[in-house]
Chains A and B, each alone.
Chain A
């Protein structure tokens, strides 16, 4: 048995493992906000219905603003931190084919997922300047990426997608 030769991956192998760009990340984030709000609304409606059913009183949780605000903050934290620590990607990121990894490419730890989630609002609070690194930095680091020592990469193989697309075309008859 010979030792396995090391062959460099061809450049046309796709974007797998490359740093993800700002547009993809923005769309993924928008999808996540939509998904998390949708799930929160559904959960809140379900909880309100259950309370009304059990107590027999008409309670409207959405009208209690402080409670709703606290609940949404906790929910958003759980939504992002749990999914990042579990699979390195949220639903929106899975949709767009990107994931979060440690700066060296290893899967992120639950600690990094929590730090990233907590630091994410900071990028917004600085008038969005926390995100400028995605456009300017070599490794497309946002502020929350830098604090959590993470990067976002494509987990989607463009070449495989092209082959799938080609496979669905009618076979051409050879000349």
Chain B
């Protein structure tokens, strides 16, 4: 309570007037027009970003990030699926490296012979199924253990170290 009698009421009155005035002023001002007049580029130029960055303890921020948790959330398989490996191999030196490591006329011939064999296997199987009027869509492709999902090891990343 104020020591001067009636000062409390006066204070409330002044506050109410001020509030009203401010609202009137704000209503009268076109904020968008005001902002458009501000030279933002000039302001940014005056900011010393390097100094701000110097003040930030990046290491401390990194230490607080749980990289393992982030990596665990990443669907690596989905990412791999989106990569066009064929085009990657075609357009990069990776192709040459693979070619050098596995090249040889023999391996090329083997690939062709085997591919022909697989193609003929499929052709025969298709015709047998057609003749017997059955579908092999639900059939197992191979033994369970050989077709079981492949576990992908996600390496632990120690950032703090």
Q: Could you list which residues of chain A lie within 8 angstroms of chain B, going by C-beta atoms? A: 1-2, 4-10, 15-24, 27, 95-97, 101-106, 135-136, 138-139, 151, 153-154, 156, 158, 161-169, 171-172, 174
27 residue pairs bridging A and B, Cβ less than 8 Å apart: A2-B72, A5-B151, A9-B147, A10-B80, A15-B118, A17-B142, A18-B141, A19-B140, A21-B117, A21-B118, A22-B121, A23-B121, A23-B124, A95-B113, A97-B110, A103-B143, A105-B144, A105-B145, A105-B146, A138-B136, A162-B86, A164-B102, A167-B96, A171-B91, A171-B93, A171-B96, A172-B90
Q: Please determine whether A7 and B141 come into contact, CB atoms closer than 8 angstroms.
A: no
B101 to chain A, nearest CB (A): 9
Known: A19-B142, A21-B122, A167-B99. A27 touches B117 (CB 8 A): yes
Interface residues on B, range: 35 or more
Q: Please determine whether B107 and A164 come into contact, CB atoms closer than 8 angstroms.
A: yes
B8 in contact (CB, < 8 A): no
Q: Could you list which residues of chain B lie within 8 angstroms of chain A, going by C-beta atoms? A: 68, 71-72, 76-77, 80-81, 85-86, 89-99, 102-103, 107-108, 110-111, 113-115, 117-118, 120-122, 124-125, 128, 132, 136, 139-147, 149-154, 156
Known: A1-B68, A2-B154, A23-B121. A17 touches B95 (CB 8 A): no
